[in-house]
């Protein structure tokens, strides 16, 4: 019975009700997007960090991995020292650089990663195999497309290039043995991976026994915090960073996005609340005579309040459900724009949908719908019966 009355009231002014639902849908879409933005980046970064199972990153003292061109000296000795430590299961050294390939009279540059193919955690192989010989490489789709090569082709590559002299250094013939997806590189960034000893030799004295970072996989029973302290004590030239430390640094760097998401989410919630409050207030003012007659024939005040509040909840819930679908569409579009941010790993999602985000947005809007209907309904149901009837009759 109560739902019938609510439906009859809302359908009495269909255009107004529809416009209110559409307004709530827009607010709900923005609210969902902001909730997804505030939590999605953090979850996405954490998933990226743990994707390959390496819990610790080691970078040159005072830097972040690949934040600068600084390298770790005496890499072989450092790797041996780390592998001898209790609690460390795998050490994966990585050296960063450039690879310049001459193809059809033009030079194509790409990011080069020197890795230990047996324990690498920088890419996932999609075709072919891991490099086994010194002059074998794995490239991503962007690199292979740029140089017009396929798995099995041989290329002439160099680690150094002087654009003024048009001269290269560290040149070698390299065979493409695989195609991979590089986890930590930006979308559209050309990249290759080759054995670390090969890249060190191609770069010459500048990279002699040096690496850019090391990734460590710990034993299941190891205490990560204790390992960080032991590593920095044993190797004073490095900074050891755990996933938790990295996440704190990510939070600091992305705090602007989280604050922006909170502000815009609060604004969208407030807009939805004010919209429904206004609609319910107008509806109550138009129906004062009807409400007072119901009071006069003995309908309880609480029953009237319940009906009007339910009207606000229906508008909010229907609008929110429509807004959830709209929010997913807009989130996908906005994510495609933000994902092209220079230097950002392609695997990062700014808007990551999680069911709890949808429930949170729906719950907040439902509460707003309840609050939006309480004041106007209680005010309308609390007016003096006799005085209001006389005013309505005169009016």
- For residue 127, name the pLDDT band (cuts at 50, 70, 90): very high
Cα(33)–Cα(361) distance, rounded to whole angstroms? 9
Does the structure show a pLDDT above 80 at 68? no
- How does pLDDT run across 156-173, given as a tens digit for each residue? 888 876 666 566 677 889
The residues spanned by each domain of the chain are: 2-49+253-394, 62-236
Between 109 and 5, name the one with better pLDDT. Answer: 109
- How does pLDDT run across 14-28, given as a tens digit for each residue? 787 788 888 888 888
Does the structure show a pLDDT above 80 at 294? no
- What is the enclosing helix (H) or strand (E) of 108? strand 106-115
Q: Transcribe 267-295 into DSSP letters.
A: HHHHHHHHHHHHHHHHHHHHTHHHHHHHH
Give me the sign of the Cα torsion angle 172, 177, 179, 182: negative
- What is the enclosing helix (H) or strand (E) of 216? strand 213-218
What token pair was written down for 393? Answer: 């009759």
Q: Transcribe 296-321 into DSSP letters.
A: HTT--HHHHHHHHHHHHHHHHHHHHH
Q: How many CB atoms lie within 10 A of CB 173?
A: 9
Strand-pair partners of 94? 115, 213
**Phi, psi values for residue 253, rounded to 5°:** -75, -25
- pLDDT, position 389: 61
- pLDDT, position 164: 60
Does the structure show a pLDDT above 70 at 385? no
- How does pLDDT run across 164-197, given as a tens digit for each residue? 656 667 788 999 999 999 988 877 889 999 999 9
- pLDDT, position 6: 65
Using left for φ > 0, alpha for ψ between -120 and 50, and beta otherwise, residue 104 falls in left
Q: Decide: helix, strand or coil at residue 347.
A: coil
Cα(207)–Cα(127) distance, rounded to whole angstroms? 30
Instruction: Determine the average pLDDT of the residues in 64-68.
Output: 71
Q: In the block, which residue shows the tokens 């001459």?
A: 102
- pLDDT, position 5: 66
Q: In the block, which residue shows the tokens 């009837």?
A: 389
Q: Which of 37-41, 152-156, 221-225, 359-363 has the highest mean pLDDT?
A: 152-156
| Bridge pairing between strands 160-162 and 167-169 | antiparallel
Cα(45)–Cα(340) distance, rounded to whole angstroms? 16
Between 344 and 137, name the one with better pLDDT. Answer: 137
Q: In the block, which residue shows the tokens 């891991």?
A: 130
Q: Please indicate, yes or no, whether the overall pTM of this predicted structure exceeds 0.75.
A: no
Cα(114)–Cα(159) distance, rounded to whole angstroms? 11
- pLDDT, position 392: 58
Instruction: Determine the average pLDDT of the residues in 330-345.
Output: 75
Give yes or no for a contact between 153 and 144, defined as CB atoms under 8 angstroms apart. Answer: no
C-alpha distances (whole Å) from 3 to each of 6, 11, 17 are: 5, 12, 16
- How does pLDDT run across 208-230, given as a tens digit for each residue? 889 999 999 988 888 888 888 89
Give yes or no for a contact between 27 and 275, defined as CB atoms under 8 angstroms apart. Answer: yes
- pLDDT, position 93: 93
Cα(380)–Cα(304) distance, rounded to whole angstroms? 9
Cα(382)–Cα(370) distance, rounded to whole angstroms? 18
Question: What is the rounded average pLDDT for all residues in the chain?
Answer: 82
Cα(157)–Cα(107) distance, rounded to whole angstroms? 10
Q: How many CB atoms lie within 10 A of CB 11?
A: 9
Instruction: Determine the average pLDDT of the residues in 333-337.
Output: 81
Does the structure show a pLDDT above 80 at 291? no
Q: What percent of the chain has pLDDT over 90?
A: 18
Q: Which of 79-83, 301-305, 362-366 has the highest mean pLDDT?
A: 79-83
Does the structure show a pLDDT above 70 at 238? yes
Residue 4 CB-density burial (10 A; 0-12 exposed, 13-18 middle, 19+ buried): exposed
Residues present in the chain in total: 395
């Amino acid at each position: 019975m109560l739902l019938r009355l609510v439906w009859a009231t809302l359908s009495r002014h269909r255009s107004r009700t529809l416009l209110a639902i559409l307004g709530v849908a827009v607010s709900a879409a923005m609210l969902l997007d902001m909730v997804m933005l505030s939590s999605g980046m953090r979850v996405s970064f954490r998933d990226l960090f743990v994707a390959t199972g390496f819990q610790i990153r080691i970078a040159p003292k005072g830097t972040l991995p690949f934040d600068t061109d600084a390298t770790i000296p005496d890499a072989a000795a450092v790797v041996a020292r780390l592998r001898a430590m209790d609690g460390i299961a795998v050490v994966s050294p990585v050296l960063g650089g450039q690879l310049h390939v001459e193809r059809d009279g033009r030079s194509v540059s790409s990011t080069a990663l020197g890795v230990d193919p047996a324990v690498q955690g920088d890419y996932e192989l999609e075709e072919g195999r891991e490099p086994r010989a010194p002059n074998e490489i794995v490239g991503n789709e962007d690199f292979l497309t740029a140089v017009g090569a396929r798995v099995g082709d041989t290329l002439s590559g160099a680690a150094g290039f002087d654009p003024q002299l048009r001269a290269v250094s560290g040149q070698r013939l390299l065979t493409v043995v695989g195609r991979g997806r590089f986890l930590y590189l930006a979308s559209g960034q050309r990249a290759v991976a080759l054995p670390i000893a090969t890249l060190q030799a191609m770069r010459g004295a500048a990279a002699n026994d040096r690496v850019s970072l090391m990734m460590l996989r710990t034993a299941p029973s190891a205490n990560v915090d204790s390992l960080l302290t032991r590593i920095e004590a044993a190797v004073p030239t490095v900074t050891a960073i755990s996933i938790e430390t990295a996440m704190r640094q990510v939070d600091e760097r992305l705090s602007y996005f989280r604050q922006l998401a909170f502000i815009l989410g609060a604004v969208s919630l407030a807009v939805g609340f004010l919209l429904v409050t206004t609609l319910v207030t107008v509806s109550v003012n138009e129906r004062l005579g009807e409400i007072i007659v119901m009071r006069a024939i003995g309908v309880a005040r609480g029953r009237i309040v319940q009906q009007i509040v339910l009207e606000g909840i229906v508008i909010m819930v229907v609008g929110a459900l429509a807004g959830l679908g709209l929010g997913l569409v807009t989130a996908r579009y906005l994510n495609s724009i933000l994902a092209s941010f220079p230097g950002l790993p392609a695997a990062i999602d700014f808007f990551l949908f999680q069911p709890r985000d949808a429930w949170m947005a729906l719950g907040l809007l439902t509460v707003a719908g309840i609050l939006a209907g309480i004041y106007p309904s209680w005010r309308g149901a609390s007016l003096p019966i006799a005085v209001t009837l006389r005013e309505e009759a005169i009016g």
